[in-house]
Amino acid sequence: MVFVICRKGKQAGSPTISSSSTQLASVEVDRIMASRCSLALLILFVLAVSLPRPQQVFAVKPMPQLRTASRIIQNSIIERINDNPEAGWKASVNPRFENYTIEQFKHILGVKPMPSNKAMVLPTKTYPKSLKLPKEFDARKAWPQCSTIGRILDQGHCGSCWAFGAVESLSDRFCIHFGINVSLSVNDLLSCCGFMCGDGCDGGYPLSAWQYFVQNGVVTDECDPYFDDIGCSHPGCEPAYPTPACEKRCKVDNLLWEQNKHFGVDAYMVNSDPTDIMIEVYKNGPVEVDFTVYEDFAHYKSGVYKHLTGDFMGGHAVKLIGWGTNEDGEDYWLLANQWNKNWGDDGYFKILRGKNECGIEDDVVAGMPSTKNLIINNAAGHSEAYATF
């Protein structure tokens, strides 16, 4: 606070002075005092203007946050899809996720983006376009003797889709190319691949899974069964299962870990052109693909899926087994999910083909099975032998 007192004229109690010289001096004093008073007032004005004023406070609307504790199944999404005549697919309450929160749903979407320091250069397969392909193809019908192709599995509440898509596809290819129905172990790949493949139940890299088959091989499901096949369906269920430990020991006494290994010959990408993908599946069998998942995908029931509504959830890997065109002229891919049969169309789904819907045609991975360590049937003598070539 600044106080300024300006006084003009004779001060009370001052002696009376009558001489002219003294009067002149008094006038000069008054002039100086007036000048100083004006200066003081100027300084006071400057200080008053420069002093900080009280800040006005505005209420800021918080940024919207993902409702991770909310249920993934939402009636509003179901109504929005089913009321849209242009949707091309139907939504419903899938029992598989009836009690899942958004956070729990996001956890099972286990495809991790490949970090730059782990980027791998894999060969990419392309094919001459001279091969005449059928308008519709279903690997289950093309190779009916292969029971693994038509089997729907359940990854439970572990983010192991990257491992399921790879193991299922390689299992199918052992039957297609060698006539052997064998269920390979997701658990082996999930627990023993380690940092090369990512973070186990917290997600991994499909490319690395196929390289693991070449370098380390994978045992059968009989030798090392999947650790979490119960799922999470009851109210209040908390999916907190960690990645299983790598034991490198078969759970049954008559099987040896190293002898039970099944190997891949190679690991490769397939060119993202739809025709190349179709030829690869037509010639060699199912492939692993990954794509971007949004909230609406959890509600899929039937039809040709296209993303219409909902937030980004994560990356998911599945097995692609065929293609076709529906009655409305929409081209689609046919895929097997690993969310059990109480999700989607009895565990399967269709997604728009040829438009790279949700990145479904970007990352197609596969490999050929090897005869190394393989037990093969001798057709003439019905005997078994280890093939080491």
Give the active site residue among 146, 337, 340, 358.
337
User: pLDDT: is 34 or 81 the higher one?
Assistant: 81
Hey, what are 42's tokens? 């100027």
Which comes out higher in pLDDT, residue 132 or 34?
132
- Whether 360 shows a pLDDT value over 60: the answer reads yes
- Residue-wise pLDDT tens digits, 20-59: 444 444 545 455 555 555 555 555 554 544 444 433 333 3
Its sign, for the CA torsion 119, 268, 286, 260, is negative
Q: What percent of the chain has pLDDT over 70?
A: 75
The 8-class DSSP code of residue 194 comes to G
* C-beta separation of 289 from 320 below 8 A: yes
Whether residue 316 lies in the annotated active site: yes
For position 239, what pLDDT does the model report?
A: 53
Distances (CA, A) of 385 to 254, 377, 382: 16, 7, 10
Nearest to 109 by CA among 158, 67, 149: 158
Outline where the chain has alpha helix (H). Answer: 20-50, 75-82, 102-107, 139-142, 161-178, 186-192, 206-215, 274-284
Whether 232 is catalytic: no
**Options 192, 316, 340, 358, the catalytic residue:** 316
Give me the mean pLDDT over the 215-231 stretch: 86
Coil, helix or strand at residue 106: helix
- 348-352 vs 300-305, strand pairing mode: parallel
| pLDDT value for 21 | 46
User: What is the number of other CB atoms lying within 10 angstroms of the CB of residue 214?
Assistant: 16
Express each pLDDT in 164-182 by its tens digit.
999 999 999 999 999 999 9
Residue 64 has pLDDT above 60, yes or no: no
User: 92 falls in which pLDDT band (50, 70, 90)?
Assistant: very high
Model confidence band, residue 68 (pLDDT cutoffs 50, 70, 90) = confident
How far from each other are the two terminal CA atoms of the chain, in whole angstroms? 97
Q: Which of 81-85, 112-116, 243-247, 265-269 has the lowest mean pLDDT?
A: 112-116
* 231-259 residue pLDDT tens: 444 444 455 668 999 999 999 989 999 99
Which of 146, 158, 161, 250 is catalytic? The answer is: 161
Is residue 121 very low, low, confident or very high in pLDDT (cuts 50, 70, 90)?
confident
| Residue written as token pair 């019908």 | 141
Six token digits for residue 131: 């091969």
Higher pLDDT, 301 or 380: 301
| Residue 192 is among the residues annotated as catalytic for this protein | no
Per-residue pLDDT, 35: 56
CA torsion angle 187 188 192 198 (round to 10): -60
Q: Is the pLDDT of residue 183 over 70?
A: yes
Number of C-alpha atoms within 13 angstroms, CB side, residue 90? 9
pLDDT of residue 97: 93
CA 294 to CA 94: how far, in whole Å? 15
What does the pLDDT read at residue 157?
Answer: 86
Domains located in the chain, CATH noted: 75-387 (3.90.70.10)
Quote the radius of gyration of the chain (alpha carbons, Å).
Answer: 37
Q: What mean pLDDT comes out for the span 180-200?
A: 95
C-alpha closest to that of 350 among 138, 144, 169, 207: 138
SS3 160: coil
**Tokens linked to 290:** 């990954």
Whether 383 has a pLDDT exceeding 90, the answer reads: no
Residue 27 pLDDT: 45
> Does residue 12 carry a pLDDT above 60?
no
Lowest mean pLDDT among 98-102, 137-141, 267-271: 98-102
State the average pLDDT over residues 55-76.
61
Q: Does residue 72 surpass a pLDDT of 70?
A: yes
Give the pLDDT band (50/70/90) at residue 13: very low
Report how far apart, in Å, the C-alpha atoms of 172 and of each of 111, 262, 286 are: 21, 13, 7
CA dihedral sign of residues 271, 274, 275, 280: positive
Q: What is the mean pLDDT of residues 157-170?
A: 96
Round the average pLDDT of the chain to a whole number and report it: 83
Sign of CA dihedral 362, 283, 218, 244: positive
What is the rounded (10 degree) CA torsion for 20, 23, 24, 29?
A: 160
Check residue 115 and give its pLDDT. 76
Whether the Cβ atoms of residue 361 and residue 277 lie closer than 8 Å to each other: yes
Percent of the chain with pLDDT over 90: 69
Helices 274-284 and 161-178: crossing angle, nearest 10°?
50
Neighbours of 133 (CB within 10 A): 13
